[in-house]
A = this chain, B = another copy of it.
């Protein structure tokens, strides 16, 4: 059976945000889906555009409209509180949900409360939600109804760290450090002083020390304990891209190629993780507007110090691209469709 014989109707809530707009951009070139925009408000923002262009079909972002339209899968590119409010109702229509917020990424309501500083309002769904990291949970994703698309920082950090923990070559007692830097689009499209041009341009800022909401995602998926992992986020004066510099001490790794072998074993058949030769590291240009996460490292055998650099486009592999990768798994499309 050709999996492309069936077409699916796919909706996007939050299509005006940066992740949502990226979803629309990617889905527009996906041959297997019909895109429907789910409009939360009646008084929609009008952007000037050329004459004669035909926007995608738009319907209200209501459960009834989703049911009537027979939407097969809904992307929620919405704040966590909106996602918690909508997810259950959408699932009841029979549609699957891929949520790009932090609402369903953590294993239980308590952990959520600790990091998000508020009670989880759709906690019963947490058991069912599958963390949408295809490199780790591909099979579970394929059969999931509700997928929690990973955080942008967490995606890069987990892909770089998890193989070291799994192979038991990280000296956890000495700690693993992730110094991550992100472009401004990761902060969303809502205007705020922190993302105003004059505050960001020619500036650079550190934030989210030890309290960033992506930290528990990284602990949960890498296996590190909270005291073993230190994370700092920084705001880069660019639009898109995350570069994470990760510091670890290794155990029993003889040569750089041995460290490379650990990554190669983890990602040999992965379509969206690319590895660099020891001593070579990626920059952001190599991954912008792509769904790749690139990983390189420098390793000093004598001191067992490893410095790993992982890069991705925060709006693609860190958000919309990975969400479409998950959709491809859920709906039975080739995993790379519309992503290469």
A residues apposed to B, CB below 8 Å: 18, 48-53, 174-175, 177, 179, 181, 184-185, 189, 191-193, 195-206, 209-210, 226-227, 230, 232, 234, 236-241, 243, 245, 247, 249, 274-277, 280-286, 288-289, 292, 294, 296, 298, 300, 302-303, 305, 307, 309
Contact = CB atoms under 8 A, between A and B. Distances in A.
Contacts of A289: 289
A198 B184 contact: yes
Candidate in A197, A199, A202, A303 with the most chain B CB atoms within 10 angstroms: A197
A303 B210 CA distance: 11
A224 to B, nearest CB: 12
A192 B198 CA distance: 12
Count of identical protomers in the assembly:
4
Contact of A191 (B191, B296, B302): B191
Contacts of A281: 48, 206, 209
A53 B309 contact: no
A286 B50 contact: yes
B50 A294 contact: yes
A191 B193 contact: yes
Contact of A195 (B197, B206, B275, B305): B197
Contacts of A174: 174-175
Given A50-B294, A210-B298, 13 more contacts: A48-B277, A49-B286, A51-B276, A179-B245, A189-B193, A202-B239, A202-B241, A203-B238, A204-B236, A209-B298, A227-B305, A230-B307, A234-B243
A282 B203 CA distance: 11
